[in-house]
Structure 1
Amino acid sequence: MAAEQGLSLVDLDRDGVDTAFREDVLQGLSEPQKAIPARWFYDDEGSELFEEITRLPEYYPTRAETEILTDRCDEFRTMIGGGRAVVEFGSGSSVKTPLLLNCIDPAAYVPLDIAGDFLRSSADALSAKFPGLPVYPVEADFVRKVELPIEVTAMPKLGFFPGSTIGNMVARTAVDLLRTMRATLGEGSQLLIGMDLVKDQAILEAAYDDAAGVTARFNLNLAHRINRELNGTIPIDALRHVARWNDAYSRIEMHLEALRPIEFGVSGHRFSMGEGDTIHTENSHKFSRRSGTTLLLAGGWTPRQRWTDREERFSLILADATVPRSAP
């Protein structure tokens, strides 16, 4: 059974460009430290490249998270139970999502993503693996509250946010997103979220600067996307991928660094960069048990159980939507 055609909740201009993408790029390139939110990596090409990254030998998070989902399946089944609509914030991993769905006997699956073609392709592939499961893809930017398909409105919800994508955001933005997820999922919902853990710097830097150069292609694809969708003239050959550990903020940072002075246009606006200047394209924050718990509590979620892989590189946390209180 193929997935439902699904909903599209993305605001496009008359040229078919996501208006939020244009606004974020123009604002970010106008700042003293140029920066573009990491969610704009994930056009169809970027989504495909990220799937390739997850299979790289240096990229441990996928293997570690898959190990948890495999080893702790019985515990997930007991603590989550069956009959929930699984709402995944992202198009769905070809490996991790089926593992979860096999564990918990869901009533429906709702993937949310802004990369429409990749979303529908992933939903169709998952429908082929689970022919009896209703699948309702929703093309949407999930940093804002998403109105879910009417078919799942009355179902209890489980949000699924794997891969430590929450680490792409600074604390303020991460808390806002967690609160938005709670609003999307509603009262009585649960959230299963991945959080990468602090570890040796060499392991972290290798995971974001692999020997095969796939992560570099992923990073540079953002510039290609700007050129393609926003009439950009960024000289791609004048940029290089940089990944570095920032210990003060407990995060890996990815940048596009100018190899020479450059000038370029985007949507009719002009920008320049000196040699060594960068566009900050991604943060990947790494968590301790305490910092992860604090973040979830601030976002309206109460941690219920936490699991790590055998080498304690990565964690999955199951949290309940916090019941509102008028006082401590």
Structure 2
Amino acid sequence: MFRIDRNLTADDLGKALRRDVAEGLTSRPKQLPPKWFYDARGSALFEEITQLPEYYPTRAEREILARRVDEIAAAADASALIELGSGSGLKTRLLLDALGRHGGLTRFVPVDVSGDFLAESAEELAGAYPRLDVHAVVGDFEEHLGLLPVSEEGGRQLLAVLGSTIGNQVPDRRAGFLRDIHGALRGGDRLLLGVDLVKDPDRLVAAYDDAQGVTAEFDRNVLSVINTELGADFDPAAFDHVARWNAEQEWIEMRLRARRDQTVHVADLDLTVRFDEGEEMLTEISAKFRQEGISAELDAAGFTLEHWWTDPDGDFAMALARVR
């Protein structure tokens, strides 16, 4: 069975983009949320990034799942899988297969902001798993967790947030996000969280500033999105990509640095913005974690960390936590 709830329309996304760009370009320092990287070109560039030799997180998380997925499924003992920022790729299928092997899996609830992508990928999964009730939800998982469908049959749920997506949030917003997840689940449900770990800063910077320049193109793509969607006249080539390790916060910062003095007009916002030569605009943070820190954050949100799996090199971890 396949069905889809649309809690987020193209008009909603357009309003959110206008709000975020207006606020971000007039703030000091300037900043833009990373979710606007992902138009069709941005998604293709990110997929290319995951194959680069410098970018270890996708491979490391996939390796943990390949080795530990049956342990994860047995510990979760879930009849429903909810995946935030979901896909139809290998990681999703590994989880579905393992939960099916351990009995009881009846529902899959994939959640994503991209309605077209979600409809296609979720319907594909419904065809591949004909016994599964696939209930897709188009929504912003930072805003719409309260609208997740709840099974009338009850049963334990496993909510997965993979890819260290949680690292794109500053600590206050991350704490709120974890509380919102807790509120969307029931006692005894589990949260499966993929997190990138603190490591040698040189390796971290290389993962976000690869030698081929793919990440630089991905970073500059947010300017192309604003040009296309809001009638702006950014020259992406007039900005350099910068990746920097913030040791105090233990996160990577991705920034765009103006190569020269320039003025940009965003027609749909009737907004003119000046950039000075060398001025930097923050486009993404990617926090890195330690086990004790994640355990404390989960505990504060009402979870108990039950299991912690890492890849053999200790680069990445998957945490399984129970709702108290």
Normalised by the length of structure 2, the TM-score is 0.91
Alpha-carbon distance in 2 for matches of 1:321, 1:200: 33
Displacement of 1:129 in angstroms is 3.4
* Distance across 1 between alignment mates of 2:51 and 2:43: 13
Unmatched runs of 5 consecutive residues or more in structure 2:
none
Residue 53 (structure 1) aligns with: 49
Q: What amino acid is the match of 1:58?
A: E
Within 5 Å, give how 1:14-33 maps onto structure 2: 17-33=13-29
The 5 A counterparts of 1:1-328 are 3-4=2-3, 6-10=4-8, 12-13=10-11, 17-83=13-79, 85-92=80-87, 94-105=89-100, 106-146=105-145, 147-149=147-149, 154-266=154-266, 267-322=269-324
Do the aligned partners of residues 41 and 291 (structure 1) sit closer, same or farther apart at CA in structure 2, a change above 3 Å counting?
A: same
Does the 8 Å CA contact 1:145/1:184 hold for their aligned counterparts?
A: no
- Alpha carbons of structure 1 residues 236 and 265: separation in structure 2 relative to 1, 3 Å: same
Whole-angstrom distance in 1 between the partners of 2:181 and 2:33? 18
Structure 1 residues 56 and 153, CA gap change in structure 2 (3 angstroms): farther
Judge conservation of contact 2:158–2:191 (CA < 8 Å) in 1: yes
RMSD value, Cα: 2.0
Pairwise CA distance, 1:39? 2.3
CA deviations on 1:247-270 (whole Å, 9 max, x unpaired) are 111111101111111111222111
For 1:46 and 1:156, the matched residues in 2 are separated by 36
Distance 1:299-1:211 versus aligned 2 partners, 3 A rule: same
How far 1:188 sits from its partner (Å)? Answer: 3.3
Letter in 2 for 1:204: L
Q: CA deviation at 1:142?
A: 0.7
SS at match of 2:44: helix
Residues 298 and 21 from structure 1, CA distance in 2 versus in 1: closer, same or farther, beyond 3 angstroms?
farther
CA contact (8 A) 1:42 1:115 kept: no
Deviation larger for 279-288 or 143-152:
143-152
- Secondary structure of 2:159's partner? strand
CA deviations 1:38-78 (Å, max 9, x no partner) are 22223343233222222222111111111111111231122
Shift of the 260–68 alpha-carbon distance from structure 1 to 2, 3 Å rule, reads same
User: Is 47-56 or 140-149 further displaced after alignment?
Assistant: 47-56
Q: Secondary structure at the match of 2:143?
A: coil
By how many angstroms is 1:153 displaced?
7.4
Q: 1:55 to 1:212 in 2, by over 3 A?
A: same
Q: For 1:142, give the aligned amino acid.
A: F
The count of corresponding residues between Structure 1 and Structure 2 is: 317
Structure 1 CA distance, aligned partners of 2:205 and 2:313?
Answer: 18
In structure 2, relative to structure 1, the CA distance for the partners of 1:262 and 1:152 (3 Å cut) is: farther
CA contact (8 A) 1:108 1:152 kept: no
Query: For the structure 1 residues 12 and 93, does the alpha-carbon distance in structure 2 shift closer, same or farther, using more than 3 Å as the test?
Result: closer
Give distance in 2, aligned partners of 1:43 and 1:8. 19
Q: Is the 8 A contact 2:88 2:124 kept in 1?
A: no
| Amino acid in the other structure paired with 1:50 | F
Q: Which deviates the most, 272-281 or 89-98? A: 89-98
Tell me how far apart the structure 2 counterparts of residues 211 and 300 of structure 1 sit (CA, whole Å).
42
One-letter amino acid of the structure 2 residue matched with residue 92 of structure 1: G
2:86–2:92 contact (8 Å) kept in structure 1? no
**Which digits, 9 at most, give the CA deviation of each residue in 1:294-317, with x for residues without a partner?**
222223322111111111111100
